[in-house]
Structure 1
């Protein structure tokens, strides 16, 4: 999460390096080799995060009607292994890998969105609930099987959740059973983004969803922009 100059970018078919850190694909797993300093406290962060997909999906999906913003749920199910030297931390578990790309900044296309990923008894469900810059909305709901194939299903109605404690980010999740959606834990509470675990109900079963809320109109405000360098330092070299 450090912004660096163009000269510190190196890329090949299987590797992307930005400054001292790099990501490489070996044909079966994606390895993140991290060598950074944290912010705002400059603690050293060094180690490897390895993501091994159960299956890969076919390619990106357009989020907006014009196709300027694209989302690729690369691996709806994956095994993640974390081995950090500094700090000395190790753990492993279930994970997920996706990618967003676009032809313009996110704030030029969206006001906000809520996103969630839930492990089902059979497969994985990923949902988007988006509000575009003109106020129109789109809901997207996909179920992925163990081979990476997907099928759309009718998005459940949006259930309002409590705003975050510190920065009052609004949150909602698509859930089938009214009144049962509940925040289990808030993992990140920032001025424009929240990450949480949420209890919900999808496709006839109770789920624990990994959930994010992104407030792009908040992100565009001057006071939030002034805060960004404290969390994402800029090194203008090259």
Structure 2
């Protein structure tokens, strides 16, 4: 949905004649927090491919040399990609093991053109990479977005946050969107261990520092939040790690679709998202 090539095709032919299948990619973002505060090592890949590289059925999805497939209740991801901007092979496997089943779908806009669903609101993940040699396991989460129109047509910006529960406590998900037409919309959910999603009162807004690109960030939660690290900082998108006073960690995303649509941003994106025909 953030492909500059797809955006150019839509401008050229119109959205109805620009097939999404011709602009597909597997995106891996891998971070290692260093011993120094704020120091993050990153691996990133997002190579776009044409419809000739796309193969899919009810149980699997292959894009180029990488493949996602269900094996019983678990999702296996076989990766074989190249990182950017410095080429380095990222090869290995992820195994996501849902602890609970899918949650319900939610409308993100009043017209119901855009939908969001937490497929596995509680899960475990095992990472086994051969290149580079990395192994890790921990808590995980899987969700799904789909829409009938480009995001930039219907939204100005949004913020998303997920805080992992600890010691049997519910996880929290906060999803705030600003449609181009109408008032802001917000979802504040608690995810219990049995997979139920419970609407929560609106928590206090916790202002955070803007990114180096000037992207606004606002956290939400009952406790004070501090910025533990900026994982991604780009001209239209930021991914951050937050920590509350009680020590719980949260992943936070901030997206400016006004900024995404600007020509100078579109011209920069191929450096992070190359395309292979």
Specify the SS of the correspondent of 1:2.
strand
- CA contact 1:36–1:44 (8 Å) conserved in 2: yes
After alignment, is 182-191 or 9-18 more displaced? 182-191
Give 1:59-98 correspondences, 5 Å limit: 59-98=104-143
Alignment of 1:1-238 (within 5 A): 1-121=46-166, 122-134=169-181, 136-164=183-211, 166-177=212-223, 180-200=224-244, 207-236=248-277
Distance 2:248 2:202 in 1: 15
Please give the root-mean-square deviation of Cα atoms over the aligned residues, in Å. Answer: 1.6
1:1-50 residue CA offsets vs partner (Å, 9 max, x unmatched): 22111111111111000111110011221111111111122211111111
Shift of 1:175: 2.4
Output the CA distance in 2 between the equivalents of 1:150 and 1:13. 27
Taking structure 2 as the reference length, the TM-score comes to 0.79
Q: CA deviation at 1:157?
A: 3.2
Tell me the TM-score normalized by structure 1.
0.91
Distance across 1 between alignment mates of 2:100 and 2:122? 7
Runs of 4+ in structure 1 displaced over 6 angstroms?
none
Secondary structure of 1:111's aligned partner = strand
Structure 2: 5+ residue stretches without partners: 1-45
- The answer to whether the Cα contact below 8 Å between 1:57 and 1:149 also exists between their aligned partners in 2 is no
When you count helix as a share of all residues, which structure comes out higher?
A: 2
Q: For structure 1, which runs of at least 5 residues remain unmatched after alignment?
A: none
Q: How many residues align?
A: 230
Decide whether the 8 Å contact of 1:115 with 1:211 is kept in 2. yes
Tell me the SS of whatever aligns to 2:177.
strand
Contact 1:143 1:152 in 2 (8 A): yes
1:135 to partner: Cα distance:
5.9
Deviation at 1:119, TM superposition (A): 2.0
Question: Per-residue CA shift, 1:198-228, capped at 9, x if unaligned?
Answer: 1347xxx774211111111111111111111
